[in-house]
Amino acid sequence: MLELSAVTYAPATVGSTVLKGVSLHAAKGQPLLIAGASGSGKTSLLEVISGLAGSQTGSIQWQGKTLNRRQRRWLCGMVFQFPERHFLGLTVSQELRLGHRRLGQEKEQEVLKRVGLQGIAGSTAPERLSGGQQRRLALAVQLLRGAEVLLLDEPTAGLDWSVREDVLQLLSNLATDQVLIVVTHEPELFSGWDCQRMRLRDGVLEPMTTLPRA
């Protein structure tokens, strides 16, 4: 289980506190959906959890052990809103093999199948993939890293209805084996999702008391 206790965050570039004593818990088996308006601090929260940013107060624990930023970077895999901007490989195979000296063809195909990209040629350039496929590739990269906590920033942004439903089903499947935290400014798109729901407003995280309409 991942637990945050009274986490406060104020980036040096902003004069105000973005996160004000945020506490949450997330476990395998049920995704955590965090809704909030643009600029509410959702991405900042993911960056703090992942170790990309450091909090001023509070603690972040995994299985009861407090983790520093370096440990959280190993534990967490972050998938950004536009993952294609972060791809470095010229092909799908290159992207998957970055950081892996020996990645066999069998392992590559195994992870591609897990994210629904079986049948995609390893020689395909990432920019030639559709938006939904690019999100799947970004997830595959994090799974290969061994990330136990997957953090997703607006995973349905820019996707049409049919692709969005496929991505949501994939995420539900991944939540069986990984802790999954998703942030969005459109919680109504997740109205049919079986998940824990919270809302981030003015730097404060609180339970979502009413379900959004699709």
- Give pLDDT tens digits along the chain (214 positions): 999 999 999 988 777 899 999 999 999 999 999 999 988 999 999 999 999 999 999 999 999 999 999 999 999 999 988 888 888 889 998 898 887 767 777 888 888 899 999 888 889 999 999 988 999 999 999 998 889 999 999 998 888 888 888 889 999 999 999 999 999 999 998 988 889 999 999 899 999 876 655 5
CA 104 to CA 94: how far, in whole Å?
Answer: 12
Domains delineated in the chain: 2-85+146-207 (3.40.50.300)
Kindly provide the residue ranges of all beta strands, DSSP E only, lying in 27-90, ordered along the sequence: 32-35, 57-62, 65-66, 76-79
Q: Estimate the crossing angle of helix 131-145 against helix 105-114, to 10 degrees.
A: 120
Q: Is the pTM of this model over 0.75?
A: yes
